[in-house]
């Protein structure tokens, strides 16, 4: 770990550790720095070579970076977005494999707070909620966000088993805060779409074990079926019919684990036309037959397990 600090800046660079692989998130670098007007950017005296670059060539990272700007202004250019103005209060995201370059306006400089991170779980969250086409979160450099970044920076030098998981948790909290920020500050049009999709989702949950006319459901929300299906999948993670099937399979799994109902009765209760189709769909998603699921749950109960499970339902997007 390489860490340097003064009154105007702090930088920390960490190699990956075993705990980071287990948690699925690792903090590679974090810090903050003040750049007054006219100061050379980036600062060449306290950053390692991979984080330095010439403006003419730009740079590509293999990890994600959050940069929160609390004073000044500047510009950001990426392979996806040729020119974007950055202002105090903005937070921008650098994406893995995406060419980029950025700098403060020499007349104003800027104060930046940054954290670089990676990991399987972190990538899953970032890919689910953020895109290179929208790298700037206007107004997201709030006091809470900046405080959390600085907390991560100050603690990132402690990689002990007792402290490292807390840094990982703070990193996930930071991502979550930014996801919620984008939702709260979404345009009125986007909020309206989300309201419609959530209303449709609630209706699917209420009628999950019945036959649903999805075209009529789309029409009730003032949307064509094509737009409804595409938007539902983007917001929920499943197409409408797939979402209904997932709900049915999840309920069936509970009944298999916790009741002695015949499998044929469970099939009918969860909305499947017959036990053969139910068995096919359950096996496809749970990775085992309903009978095997029930036997596995019974075996766990016999050995004193408090929360028996026949295995996770395999998700389909």
CB atoms within 10 A of CB 248: 21
pLDDT, greater one: 254 or 44:
254
Sign of the CA dihedral 250, 253, 258, 264?
A: positive
Q: What is the pLDDT of residues 129-155, one digit of tens each?
A: 999 999 999 999 999 999 999 999 888
Residue 44 banded pLDDT, cuts 50, 70, 90: low
Q: In the predicted model, what is the mean pLDDT of residues 110-128? A: 93
Distance CA 84, CA 87 (A): 10
Q: Where are the domains of the chain?
A: 2-184, 188-237, 242-302
Q: How confident is the model at residue 203 (pLDDT cuts 50, 70, 90)?
A: very high
Quick: pLDDT tens for 232-255. 998 888 899 999 999 999 999 999
pLDDT at 315: 45
Give the pLDDT of residue 22.
Answer: 78
CA 32 – CA 112 distance, rounded (Å): 6
Cα separation, 30 vs 154, in Å, equals 8
Per-residue pLDDT, averaged over 212-222, amounts to 95
Rounded Cα gap, residues 130 and 92, in angstroms: 11
Task: Give the pLDDT score at 170.
Answer: 95
Note the pLDDT of residue 51. Answer: 63
C-beta separation of 293 from 311 below 8 A: yes
User: Is 70 exceeded by the pLDDT of residue 35?
Assistant: yes
Q: pTM for the whole thing? A: 0.65
Check pLDDT > 50 for residue 221. Answer: yes
User: To which residue do tokens 């499947």 refer?
Assistant: 272
pLDDT band at 317 (very low <50, low <70, confident <90, very high): very low
Residue 188: predicted pLDDT: 76
Dihedral of the CA atoms 130, 131, 132, 138 (nearest 10)?
-50
Cα–Cα–Cα angle for 167, 176, 150, rounded to 5 degrees: 40
Give the end-to-end CA distance of the chain in Å, rounded to a whole number.
39
Calpha distance 84→135 (Å, rounded)? 9
Query: For the purposes of burial, counting CB atoms within 10 Å of the CB of 160, is it exposed (0-12), middle (13-18) or buried (19 or more)?
Result: exposed
Residue 122: closest CA among 50, 162, 63 = 63
CATH code of the region 242-302: 1.10.10.60
Residue scoring higher pLDDT (249 or 54): 249
Residue 23 class from Cβ within 10 Å (0-12 exposed, 13-18 middle, 19+ buried)?
buried
Sign of the torsion angle spanned by Cα atoms 232, 238, 242, 246: negative
* pLDDT over threshold 70, residue 229: yes
Give the ranges where 24-162 is alpha helix by DSSP (H).
Answer: 120-129, 143-155
In the chain, what is the greatest distance between 2 CA atoms, to the nearest angstrom? Answer: 77
Report the C-alpha gap between 108 and 36 in whole angstroms: 7
Residue 50: CB atoms within 10 A of its CB come to 12
Structure tokens at 169: 């948790």
Average pLDDT, the chain: 86
Fold (CATH) for 2-184: Jelly Rolls (2.60.120)
pLDDT in tens, 60-114: 988 999 999 999 999 999 999 989 999 999 999 999 999 999 999 999 999 999 9
> Which is higher by pLDDT, 291 or 43?
291
Contact 71, 111 (CB under 8 A): yes
Please count the other Cβ atoms lying within 10 Å of the Cβ belonging to residue 267.
24
Q: Residue 314 above 50 pLDDT?
A: no
More confident residue, 245 or 313: 245
Q: Is the pLDDT of residue 159 over 90?
A: no
């Amino acid at each position: 770990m390489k860490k340097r600090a003064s009154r105007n800046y702090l930088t920390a660079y960490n190699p990956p550790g075993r705990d980071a692989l287990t948690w699925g998130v690792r903090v590679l670098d974090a810090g903050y720095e003040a750049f007054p007007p006219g100061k050379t950017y980036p600062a060449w005296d306290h950053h390692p070579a991979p984080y330095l670059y010439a403006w003419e060539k730009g740079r590509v990272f293999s990890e994600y970076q959050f940069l929160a700007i609390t004073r000044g202004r500047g510009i950001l250019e990426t392979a996806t977005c040729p020119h974007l103005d950055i202002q105090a209060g903005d937070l921008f995201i650098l994406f893995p494999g995406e060419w980029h370059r950025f700098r403060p306006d020499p007349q104003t400089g800027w104060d930046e707070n940054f954290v670089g991170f990676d990991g399987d779980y972190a990538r899953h969250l970032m890919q689910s909620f953020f895109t290179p086409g929208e790298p700037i979160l206007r107004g997201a450099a709030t006091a809470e966000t900046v405080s959390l970044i600085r907390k991560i920076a100050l603690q990132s030098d402690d990689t002990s088993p007792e402290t490292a998981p807390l840094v990982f948790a703070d990193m996930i909290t930071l991502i979550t805060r930014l996801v919620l920020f984008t939702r709260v500050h979404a345009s009125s049009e986007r909020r309206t779409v989300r309201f419609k999709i959530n209303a449709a989702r609630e209706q699917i949950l209420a009628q999950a074990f019945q036959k649903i006319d999805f075209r009529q459901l789309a029409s009730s929300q003032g949307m064509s079926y094509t737009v409804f299906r595409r938007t539902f999948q983007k917001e929920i993670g499943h197409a409408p019919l797939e979402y209904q099937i997932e709900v049915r399979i999840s309920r069936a799994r509970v009944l298999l684990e916790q009741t002695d109902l015949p499998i044929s009765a469970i099939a009918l209760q969860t909305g499947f036309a017959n036990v053969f189709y139910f068995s096919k769909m359950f096996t496809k998603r749970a990775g085992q037959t309903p009978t095997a699921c029930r036997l596995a749950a019974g075996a766990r109960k016999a050995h004193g397990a408090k929360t028996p499970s026949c295995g996770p339902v395999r998700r389909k997007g």
